[in-house]
Chain A
Amino acid sequence: MTAHTKPVSRYTTAARINHWITAVSLVLLALSGMALFHPSLYFLTYLFGGGQMTRILHPWIGVVLAVSFLGLFLRFFMLNLWNRDDTVWMKNLGSVINNKEEGLPELGKYNAGQKLVFWGQSILILLLLGSGFVLWDTYFFSYTTIDQKRLSAVVHALCAIGAILIWIVHVYAAIWVKGTMSAMTRGSVSGGWAWKHHRKWFRQEVGKS
């Protein structure tokens, strides 16, 4: 007998739309930002209609991302608060990477890795937004000194690289852990997936119905 539960709902339609607006903006920001960061990648400006257009569009996409990410933050920050199980999970990160999750604490909706992605992006996006305004000469040139702009350029580039690295981890985790992607495409995961990766959350979900 193959016992399959019905899919477990993980994300509402609104949360998914919110996520994908953030995702698309982040990719566009990374492409346009890298184009202006490294001369070897300047050709990426063609995707945005040339250098001037890239310079004009990048900060506006940044505003879209900031607003959109704020939505994600408000939706999920309560679920991303750190607890003792997360510390245990982090100590056993080696086993997780080796596909050996057995024996780890039962987890709520998010594991420690997901929580670190969440908080990492929250902090970096805040810094990127702040330093981004300092670099947005079209509207904000007169509000800061040139030295502050120089510092902002370094902070902005550093945080952007950090955010791109976290993004790579985030995307790779979704590819590596099979059954994850449907959470953000159709909004649900299989019972087995929920049982395997987020057992405490799964028990709560089935308890509700």
Chain B
Amino acid sequence: MRQQNSDVVITRQRVGQIGSYAFGLALLIGVLGLVWTGWSTPVIIAFLVAAVGLATWATFTPRDFAAFITGRQARYGTIAFFSVILLSGIVAMTYLLVRERALTFDLTMSEEFTLSPETKDMLRRVTRPVQITGFYSSQNLLLRAIDDQFFRLYETETNGLIRRVYIDPDEAPAVAASFGATDGSVYISYVNDDGSVDTATLARVPRSDSQERDMTEAILRLQIAGTVTVYFDTSHSARDPLDTSPEGLSGIHAGIQESGLITAPLDMTTLGEANGDVPADAAAVLLVRPLTDYSEAEIAVMDRYLDRGGGLFIMADVLFNDDPFLKQDGAFDQYLWVNFGIRALDAAIVDPVASDRSALDVYSAAAFTGTVTDRFDPQTDPALFRLARVIEVNLESAPANVANGKLVLTSELAYGETNLPQLGQTNTFAFDDGVDLRGPLTIAGWSWDQTTNGRVLLIGDSDFVSNGMVEQYLGNGILFTDGVVWLTDLNDEITFQPQTIGVVPFFPLDQPTRSALLFGVIFLVPGLVLAAGIVISARRARQ
């Protein structure tokens, strides 16, 4: 047997060649690494390898090395290389200059990407620098690109008075935490003189199917920010607006603040004892399930407040204590009935039809829209109320100059259980003809004194705005938000109609049309192209 010679011959030429390859590769890696991460250990190592490769190349094959630098190929190659770099630079500069001008042509039929005249009017009123801050991680790169081309319309329209800033919540988690931001969320705020964000005016921009409405309304809210205050009454063991538990109100509290309104606590008992007044800046006062009823002194405070055009949002639960809040025919209930034609009754709503797990978990079956809300739709997004009280609205003989109405109703099969002691002790309920109230019953009603502009919104439940329920049922949030907007009289100022998009629905095709279409686009058109190709090829073959 012959033994094969497997010796590897290492020549100077080969070492020099390997050196040149190592130089080129390591230099490329080094430059890319430098651009990507800056100076780091791997980058330094790459440049060291490149230096060693270069030295090896120059030492072992000096002629090749010299030819590479000074030869004909080098001269032409260098000219070609630098001319490509020069042209690329010119193209890049042109691109950047054109991008700076932000020239955009919206070719969509309904001008989806053009700001409406209303938005442009509003933007002309912006006088202070505003910052749109978007939080996008690299995972949300596409969302950022889509949002950006919309946000830049605002920047261009205001000549930079509105600016865009993007922050990666993964790269800057502390900044994201200071905004309370999550990936994909967008905030709006004024900018201080030093260029920092005015955190007092910071508000999240909601995200719905209409970007223009979301952003324009957010800017409108920003313009009224700091001018409207909503007070939460904390007396009588009312629900805590800062409580983050499922029973707490932190969700709606944050929602009010995000709408650009200021929130503050108010102690009605202290005010009553001191014969004081609700602060002058109070656009609305929220009474969210006080446990005990109000005294005459407290009612007097509220009377003075309503007389000067205040707004009262009352959420009254079914209570089983001795002196329950807004007890039927109690002083406060009477006050509302006499002055506003609205009151709460001592009856719990039972609805065997429009209810959730229990007949006491009642869904809104119908609603009267127009005055308080236009958005609330019990069919698509019903609100859920838990152990709700019956509200009565005096439609027939309302007080003079008072307009009032029902807002949310139960189904016709609902009834008002009046035996509250039995309900509280045994959780049993049954309809007693002649005693209990027949449906449909009112769960929420409103009243408006047109002389004083005082407004009352009375809802027979407070659970519907608790964190656990307002996050789960969209209708609850809409009802609450629109209620606050109506009470604070901000409706006209922050409601904005976006550009209408002319979406023409497409109806299913009948079978013969579909079949003809299928034949045409999948067989006929491609088939004709193929047939033309075959004919031409055959003709060429014959020639």
Partners in one complex: no
